[in-house]
Structure 1
């Protein structure tokens, strides 16, 4: 097969990879913020639940998690489609790591900020949303951006539960043509291109977040 004959099939796989990655990042971000905030601002029960979630998904293999959700859950009556399984497991896995980033950023905000908010008679929720989080989000953006890139690379594992993503199609094409060099070179280029686009998008988001955080300071100056 010629070089360009591989591209259409790999491109379709790349679209699947991109969709799974973006969905996992979105859901994982929500999980990270919920668990991270629960660890810092929640009561004992909420903090304990968040800690258990974080440690279980950080302390076990993503590959085993995928297999457990895909092959073991149906045995207890809960069956998920392959794509739903891939997105769910990736999101939970990434959310567990992200929760530690969120927790660290929240704890990095000076306690004096909270004391000042209490002195102004701000409620706990108001203080979190309007005082602590705006400062913490700026600090956590670089680490969350790296985690998003890592999510894209980890998404290649979903090919093992029969999802026809970029890695799955590359492996199938390689088995058909035995042209390992060309097929896997194109696959590397595909992942690199998606990583580059994601990285640029995240840098734009980070710039907007920092600008938004700086604007109130400028306005009060």
Structure 2
């Protein structure tokens, strides 16, 4: 689906959400859900930044790091990919205090989701770097570049384009996973919806608004990543495997 179609879908979702928010049936729930959605956005943005940092560092360390650093990267990736995000959140929130380390719920949410998605992102980075044509590496050797120079100037700019679509998918997955933070006392969008539903039993209007809010947020991510891919691709040929 092209950017124009996604933009049209986003506009339609926003118009529908605005129309419902002003109706008598839905308006009573909208302010509280909007407050929860704002917390969801904050967690998603901070978690995504952490995921990109951890994914990039771990992916490159797994490829080119010295033995101990490579081992640490592999251990991190396998632990966080191989266990449930919910268990990771519970461990950070409920188990760490037993060792004398207490973290705020927001910090736990960002750490848990960011580290979880970052482990998947590490494989995205590794695969994108390895997809760059071998001839590109050979050219950097001919130019007498160091590995760091080759990565910074030649390899990573090309690999970055290949990373954008899968990173977009991971950001959306992280956004949807923010619903888990309601279980560690954070009043995010999912938590507010559950509280309202238990109090009023108005399931259809509440979760219709929630559905539209998540759709708007995910469409914003998709459109933003497609726009970023288009900008990054200008004048940058994609490397092909030799």
The TM-score range, normalised by the shorter chain, is: over 0.9
Aligned residue in 1 for 2:165: 142
Q: TM-score, normalised by structure 1?
A: 0.94
Q: TM-score, normalised by structure 2?
A: 0.86
Matched, 1:25 2:42: no
Q: In the aligned structure 2, how far is the partner of 1:105 from the partner of 1:115?
A: 17
Aligned residue in 2 for 1:45: 68
Cα shift at 1:112:
2.2
Which of the residues 195, 204, 219 maps onto 2:227? 204
Deviations 1:5-61 (A, max 9, x none): 100000000000011001101111011000001111212221111000000000000
| Uncovered stretches (5+) of structure 2, i.e. residues with no partner | 1-23, 238-242
Q: In the aligned structure 2, how far is the partner of 1:135 from the partner of 1:2?
A: 51
Report the RMSD for the aligned CA atoms in angstroms. Answer: 1.2
- Segment drifting more, 76-85 vs 182-191: 182-191
Cα shift at 1:212:
5.8
Aligned residue in 2 for 1:3: 26
Aligned residue in 2 for 1:217: none
Q: How does 1:17-96 map to 2 (within 5 A)?
A: 17-96=40-119
3-state DSSP class of the match of 1:213?
coil
Q: Is the 8 A contact 1:40 1:106 kept in 2?
A: no
Q: How does 1:79-118 map to 2 (within 5 A)?
A: 79-118=102-141
Deviations 1:126-181 (A, max 9, x none): 00111110111111111111111111111111111010000000000001101111
Aligned residue in 2 for 1:121: 144
Q: In the aligned structure 2, how far is the partner of 1:212 from the partner of 1:129?
A: 17
Aligned residue in 1 for 2:201: 178
| Paired positions, count | 214
Q: In the aligned structure 1, how far is the partner of 2:144 from the partner of 2:121?
A: 31
